Structure 1
Amino acid sequence: MARAAGVVVVGASIAGLTVVEELRSKGFGGPITLLESEDTAGYSRPLLSKGVLAGEGDPSTALLPAPEDLGVDVLRGTSARGLDLDRNLVELDGDALPFDKLVVATGARALTLHDLGANDDCVPEVVLRTMDDAVRLRDLLGSARTVLVVGGGVLGMEVASAASSKGLAVTVVDRGAPMARTGGAFLSRMVSACARERGVQLVSAPEGARLVERDSRPAVVAGGHLLEADVVVTAVGCRPNVEWLARTGLSLSPGVVVDNRCRVREHIAAAGDVVSVEGSRRQPHWSTALDQARVAADVLLYGDDASPYINRPYFWTDQFGLSVKFAGRPTSDDPELVDGSQDTLSGLWRWTDAGHPHAAVAINRRIPIARLLHTAGHS
């Protein structure tokens, strides 16, 4: 493959696309090649569960701007198979792509119960990660009466909410309380109450859930009970796509480990769901991918003069009549009400420690992200 070396970005989701946009906006005029394993145009993953699945928008509404408009060579349906660090080559099927600088933005894929050793019979699992997943699940919900979701995190509860809004009988199984790991006990109680009001059954299974097959259909064993439904959805997290880097000697656990400027090596950066900053827990959120991508582009252009990455945990979700915007990391205690009313489920709450804020949540309240982050002590 006769291509000029330049910047190669592996992965064309929001992290990879933002790197490309940042490089061009800051004057980089050299060649950029963007690799994407999927054949489709890039799309916004949050909109899959927040709009496409619920039927509120056509899949085309989730598409991202075309990077070709920025003079980028886009190779769709092309997967990186390996990385030769000595020769600066991204290895493809039977070919190789040279680079001067590289961005790893290969994201993550859905974690399954089989991955967790809880599906020994390899029953096919329904997940929600890609556009194809969203369209398939939307179609399945259209012909179902009952739905069972394994996993009570943000994605699992959004799936449950979408199914409930279609009039389906919904059950959610989780090791703990829904949304507790992400939003703490306060948000978990609020979401759980709203879910139950809409007829959703919440099943606690501290020992976990196991996927089995009954009468040629998937079912779940949890808490000693067999739970059956027309559609069973696995929503238990994601795992980083790092296998193509296995022979590089790079640190890949719990994701591609980068420094505080999203740098893997002097000429290699990484951003998005695949990244672990200085070995800490991955933060697979949209806002994190954007922030890391901007830093990754800067470090390729400016090296040590680039500003370091600042972790500002933030996510948003719409479920069961609640519009939630969350910043920071909550503790187990209840937050203080800053503005609004808990009785009307509309307000702004803040968690503090010794008078210092460290998390905030806005529920059914329009609020700029900057104000939410400031309230959470992350401005």
Structure 2
Amino acid sequence: MSTDRTPGIDRIVVVGNGIAGQTACDSLRTAGFDGELTVVGDESVPAYSRPALSKALLTDGGSHELAAPAHGATELLGVAAVGLDVDARRVRLDDGTDLPFDGLVVATGARPRPLGNGALVLRTLDDALLLRERLTARPSVAVVGAGPLGMEVASAAAQAGCEVTVVADTAPMLPQFGPYLAELFTGAATAAGVKIVSGTAIGLDAGTVTLDAGTRVTAELVVAAIGDIPNVEWLHDSGLLTGGRLIADSRGRVAPGIVAAGDVAHLPIRGIVRRIPLWNSAIEQARVAAVALLRGDDAPEFDTDPYFWTEQFGLHLKAIGRLPVDGDPTFLLGNDTADDPHGPALLHWRHPDGAGVAVAINHRIPIPRLRRAAATGQLPGTVTASG
């Protein structure tokens, strides 16, 4: 790659030190930007692997560390962006200083939607360490929310020896997975002793969660996993928001010299403007946005099938393609998971528009092979099964 500096862009500021921000920094350097690069992070610790927080870190203290960055950016940690002047090309920080820029990457992510009144949430390293500490006392646990995050927390709590209740306003993970996979994971959860209570939480007081039908769930520890809120408040006076949303084009561009990536951004995906709050999607978006910041229309568009993975209740799932899926799968490997829910198995679905989805259950398969399985609906060569 050429190391010539892009004309007119000598200083780039990346706001957000998560995986989208770090990937943007790496991608800018790879694309040839050798100018002044500054990354701003509101947490005081270096970037880390967020998916590990709800998985290995909660159960066995597994590593959450990322490799040391090689992009050479100036890192401003423990400081947050609180405003943006687009015309003056300056980011205002909460320590009273301003950062001038020629190019800007918005990668401020999202935060948990709170339940309040003492309920814990899980988003940051501090959140995870606090939750892990609380679980060591084996309290009774109520998890409000039955998406992948809530069920991962429930799995960790059950593994820690806690009595666990999940409050679910729909069948666990049904909106995310579809009926076949949702039933598989719900069965694994109940087999592990987790109690599922249907309803929507409308209040929490002194460890008692009140549901919309009047049901009450009481626990010594309550964890809320009820969705997230994009961190766009600092952009409210910038003129960049549309209906409160930060909407980018298919290359991540929001305005001249400004791009966005990760959980904070809405992008057009196959005709629908939406967020894809997934770790791998944040990486792919950041790669595209960084190149677009430097090369404009010469950058590729963001158009990739999402990759998702989860570990819970003895099930390790990897998925390529658009979830949820309807109907029963075709088995490319293994037997019906109704007979053997822990696999190993490789499943395939085909959406009405022709797009494929491949899901590996307790099955080791490299992501490129899983992607080929999704596209072709065929077993991609020899795959090694995990035990």
Q: Identify whether the pair has TM-score above 0.5, normalized to the shorter chain.
A: yes
Say whether 1:126 aligns with 2:120. yes
Name the SS of the counterpart of 2:251 in structure 1: coil
**SS of corresponding position for 1:54:** helix
Is structure 2 residue 204 aligned with structure 1 residue 212? yes
User: What aligned pairs does 1:1-379 form with structure 2 within 5 A after superposition?
Assistant: 6-57=11-62, 61-67=63-69, 69-93=70-94, 94-113=96-115, 122-205=116-199, 208-213=200-205, 217-222=206-211, 223-253=213-243, 255-278=245-268, 280-327=273-320, 328-342=322-336, 343-344=339-340, 345-353=343-351, 356-377=354-375
Pick which of 366-375 and 163-172 moved more: 366-375
Unaligned runs of at least 5 residues, structure 2: 1-8, 378-387
Whole-Å Cα distance in 1 between the matches of residues 292 and 194 of structure 2? 47
The alignment partner of 1:249 has SS state of coil
Q: Which residue in 2 is equivalent to 1:117?
A: none
Mapped to 2, the partners of 1:143 and 1:76 lie a distance apart of 33
- The structural deviation recorded for 1:182 is 0.9
Deviates more, 1:196-205 or 1:245-254: 245-254
Mapped partners of 2:376, 2:26: distance in 1: 25
CA distance in 1, matches of 2:58, 2:312: 12
Change (3 A) 1:240 1:45: same
- The residue type equivalent to 2:236 in the other structure is A
Q: 1:88 to 1:329 in 2, by over 3 A?
A: same
AA at the equivalent of 1:169: E
**Once structures 1 and 2 are overlaid, which stretch shifts more, 369-378 or 83-92?**
369-378
Q: 1:198-250 CA distances to partner (integer Å, 9 max, x unpaired)?
A: 11101111xx112321xxx2211124221111111000111100000001121
Work out the percentage of aligned pairs sharing the same amino acid: 45
The CA deviation at 1:320 is: 0.4
Amino acid of the residue matched to residue 373 of structure 1? Answer: R
| CA distance, structure 2, for counterparts of residue 56 and residue 258 of structure 1 | 37
Measure, in 2, the Cα distance between the counterparts of 1:5 and 1:306.
19
CA displacement, residues 160-212 of structure 1 (integer Å, 9 cap, x when unaligned): 0001111111111111111111111111110011111111101111xx11232
Following superposition, the deviation at residue 369 of structure 1 comes to: 1.3
Q: CA deviation at 1:42?
A: 0.9
SS in structure 2 of the partner of residue 81 of structure 1? strand
Cα deviation, residue 339, structure 1: 1.5
Distance 1:124 1:355, change over 3 A: closer
Residue type of the partner of 2:49? Answer: S
CA-based RMSD of the aligned residues comes to 1.9
Aligned equivalents of 2:243 and 2:105: distance in 1?
A: 18
C-alpha deviation, 1:252, in angstroms: 4.6
State which drifts further: 217-226 or 122-131. Answer: 217-226
Cα distance in 2 between the residues matched to 1:192 and 1:334: 16
Q: Gaps (5+ residues) in structure 1?
A: 114-121
Query: Aligned partners of 1:249 and 1:348: how far apart in 2?
Result: 47
TM-aligned CA deviation for residue 372 of structure 1: 2.0
The alpha carbon displacement at 1:293 in A equals 0.6
The verdict on how the C-alpha distance between 1:30 and 1:354 changes in structure 2, with shifts beyond 3 A counting, is closer
CA distance in 2, matches of 1:303, 1:156: 39
| Greater CA drift, 160-169 or 335-344 | 335-344
- The C-alpha deviation readout for 1:292-343, integer Å capped at 9, x for no partner, is 0100111012111001111322210000000001222233322221211123
For residue 13 of structure 1, what is the amino acid of its counterpart? G
Query: How far did 1:112 drift?
Result: 1.7
Taking structure 1 as reference, are residues 25 and 307 closer, same or farther at Cα in structure 2, changes over 3 Å only?
Answer: same
Q: Give distance in 1, aligned partners of 2:244 and 2:344.
A: 37
Give the length in aligned residue pairs: 359
- CA displacement at 1:375 relative to structure 2: 2.7
Distance 1:16 1:252 in 2: 22
Q: Distance in 1 between matches of 2:351 and 2:46?
A: 45
Matched residue, 2:383: none
Q: 1:260–1:209: structure 2 CA closer, same or farther, 3 Å change rule?
A: same
TM-score by length of 2: 0.88
Contact (CA 8 Å) 2:331, 2:345: kept in 1 or not? yes
> Match for 1:350: what amino acid?
H
